[in-house]
Homo-oligomer: A and B are copies of this chain.
Amino acid sequence: MNKYAIAIHGGAGTILKSSMTAEKEQLYTEGLKNAIAAGELILKNGGTSIDAVEKAVRSLEDNPLFNAGKGSVFSNSGKNEMDASIMNGQNLMAGAIAGVKNIKNPVSLAKAVMEKSEHVFLAGEGALEFAKFVGSEIENDAYFFEQMRFDQLEQAKLNDGVFLDHTPDKFENGEKKFGTVGAVALDIHGNLAAGTSTGGMTNKKFGRVGDSPIIGAGTYANNATCAISCTGHGEFFIRSVVAYDISCLMEYKGLSLKEACDLVVKNKLVNIGGEGGLIAIDSNGNIELPFNSEGMYRAKKNSDGELFVGIYGDSAITL
């Protein structure tokens, strides 16, 4: 059988072992393992990378621990406004949505935009109309209500702050966390895919859109090079066109996946103050999980190897 491989992330930022309880660590680890398993099930059975990416991201969206789908943070208006995108490396088809409310699985709506519309990118109320048109799963506000997220909004409003974080820790000690989820995969047919989904920033105003729904910035996939999903301070990732930059460094400059990832994440982004990380896979199934923040929720698995789950620095979580 040909090789398959998958990697996922659940956000990057100031994630320190010292501020994590054993119980929370266990919950995050289980969440990451479940998402890998959902994607791997597709790949093992000969399914496509685009379906595997969708399933893995859906698993993270359905988990209230992560800032996407059910666990999305509250915007300033007290609503959950979500962004997502997905791209198929085989044909460079892509779909993206921004500022949508009440969609259970934004990544699946992005996939529907790719597969069932002539468009790539739909935003706001119009995207919700499209979701209804194609029969996406809609949930009421109560589904997205998480007390912890609502408390974060109240806290952020008190401080008049806009936070990218996804736990209340930062309000206590200035930590920064970037709540996004994503997946990249290679299937046995040799095709790459990438997907990203986010609930945005706590207390965000003015319809801010980050890099997650931007093809080339937060998400990119091309069989000729790599598939990428980013998480971090989105404004810097947009300005740096991060995901496509890695692809171009491979295609035009001949860098390996690792060389391109290290240059972009640990050099170029650091130089402009862009905190975060990304997951990357190439057509040989090589996986890179670089980040320049203290930690990144991440996991990977391929058809040959064992499961890796990481949260902090360089070390793996003992499974």
- The answer to whether B252 touches A207 (Cβ under 8 A) is no
Contacts of A244 in B (CB 8 A): 216, 241, 244-245, 248
Task: Identify A129's interface contact among B119, B205, B216, B235, CB under 8 A.
Answer: B205
Task: Identify A206's interface contact among B87, B93, B119, CB under 8 A.
Answer: B119
Q: CA of A206 to CA of B245 in the docked complex: distance in angstroms?
A: 30
* Interface: A249 (CB within 8 A): yes
User: Number of copies of this chain in the oligomer?
Assistant: 2
Q: CA of A153 to CA of B244 in the docked complex: distance in angstroms?
A: 36
Separation in Å of the A242 CB from the closest CB of chain B? Answer: 9
- The answer to whether B239 touches A120 (Cβ under 8 A) is yes
Contacts of A317 in B (CB 8 A): none
Interface residues of A in 226-247 (CB under 8 A from B): 234-235, 238-241, 244-245
Interface residues of A in 124-174 (CB under 8 A from B): 124-127, 129-130, 133, 162
Interface residues of A in 174-225 (CB under 8 A from B): 205-210, 214-217, 220
Q: CA of A210 to CA of B272 in the docked complex: distance in angstroms?
A: 28
* Interface: A28 (CB within 8 A): no
- The answer to whether B118 touches A272 (Cβ under 8 A) is no
- The answer to whether A122 touches B241 (Cβ under 8 A) is no
Contacts of A129 in B (CB 8 A): 205-207
- A126 with B214, Cβ < 8 A, contacts A92-B239, A248-B245 known: no
- A238 with B208, Cβ < 8 A, contacts A248-B245, A272-B92 known: no
* Interface: A99 (CB within 8 A): yes
Contacts of A124 in B (CB 8 A): 99, 123-125, 207
Q: CA of A69 to CA of B58 in the docked complex: distance in angstroms?
A: 39
- The answer to whether A121 touches B238 (Cβ under 8 A) is yes
Name the CB-closest residue of B to A217: B216
Q: CA of A159 to CA of B208 in the docked complex: distance in angstroms?
A: 35
Name the CB-closest residue of B to A123: B207
Q: CA of A99 to CA of B182 in the docked complex: distance in angstroms?
A: 26
Name the CB-closest residue of B to A127: B207
Task: Identify A209's interface contact among B98, B208, B220, B238, CB under 8 A.
Answer: B98
- A92 with B205, Cβ < 8 A, contacts A216-B214, A217-B216 known: no
Q: CA of A129 to CA of B244 in the docked complex: distance in angstroms?
A: 32
Name the CB-closest residue of B to A255: B252
| Residue from the set A94, A120, A205 with the largest chain B CB neighbour count within 10 Å | A120
Contacts of A210 in B (CB 8 A): 121
- The answer to whether A94 touches B249 (Cβ under 8 A) is no
* Interface: A284 (CB within 8 A): no
Contacts of A215 in B (CB 8 A): 214, 217, 238-239, 241
Query: What 8 new A-B contacts, CB under 8 Å, besides A122-B208, A244-B245?
Result: A92-B239, A93-B239, A126-B208, A127-B207, A129-B207, A214-B214, A215-B217, A215-B238
Q: Ordered nearest first, which 3 A-B pairs have the shortest CB separation?
A: A126-B207, A248-B248, A252-B252
